[in-house]
Amino acid sequence: MVELIPSQDAVMQILTRTGAFREGHFVYPNGKHSPHYFQMPLAFRYYDTARVLAVALSRKFRLEKDISSQLPKVAVISPSSGGIPVAFGVRDALNAEQIYWAEQEHGERMFRQYVNQGEVNPCIIVDDIMRSGKAIEETVALVKTLGARMIGCGAIVRFDMAPNEIEGVPIKSLIDFDVKMYEGDENCAECKAGVSPEQVRF
């Protein structure tokens, strides 16, 4: 049976329909302007769309021999709360044995206490969106402290400024997004067109 992975267009339609992808004129807390904005939990609040997205991403992982050959003895790991529904969906689709998620405590990414006790399977790190890649890189470092090996890495959306591989492991994504981000209002097309800006939290 051929397992189809939806096209980038089909995934963008889901994100647009659920409000997870917005077009307009957005200003970030760091002062940057952008004509688009992603708020991924809006797509993951519906079970049906969450499932479609997670299953699609899981299929990309299953194509990797290093992953498929180790299932179900695999751990799916989320760098933050945003990736938790992705991690549960991917775990479910792959029937992977373990799931973990990191959180920010006092500005530092870490796992809950005692998680390092016991054996951690080879890991797939998944997130809802990869902007700079920093969250995933920090999580790779965390995974090493658990003594586990990273065998896969991916996100529903990957910004084109993010790396496409980490330590030799290719990053899987359903959408590779061409980001438009302007420093301040000088080069912003929406400012020039007089579109009123909307402040976004992060």
26 near Zn ion, rule: CB under 5 A? no
Q: Which is nearer to Zn ion, 165 or 178 (CB)?
A: 178
Count the site residues for Zn ion by CB under 5 A: 5
Question: Segment contacting Zn ion (CB under 5 A): 13-21, 25-33, 122-130, 169-177?
Answer: 25-33
Shortest Å distance, C-beta 22 to Zn ion: 15
Q: Which residue sits closest to Zn ion, CB atoms considered?
A: 188
The three-state secondary structure class of 185 is coil
Mark 34-68 as b/e (b = at least 16 C-beta within 10 Å): bbebbbbebbbeeeebbebbbbbbbbbbeebeebe
190 near Zn ion, rule: CB under 5 A? yes
Q: Which is nearer to Zn ion, 115 or 181 (CB)?
A: 181
Cα–Cα distance measured from residue 131 to residue 185, given in angstroms and rounded to the nearest whole number: 21
188 near Zn ion, rule: CB under 5 A? yes
Do 156 and 86 contact (CB within 8 A), yes or no? yes
Shortest Å distance, C-beta 30 to Zn ion: 13
Query: Hey, what are 11's tokens?
Result: 């995934």
Cα–Cα distance measured from residue 12 to residue 174, given in angstroms and rounded to the nearest whole number: 9
Q: Which is nearer to Zn ion, 33 or 172 (CB)?
A: 33
Q: Which residues would be at the binding site for Zn ion (CB under 5 A)?
A: 33, 185, 188, 190-191
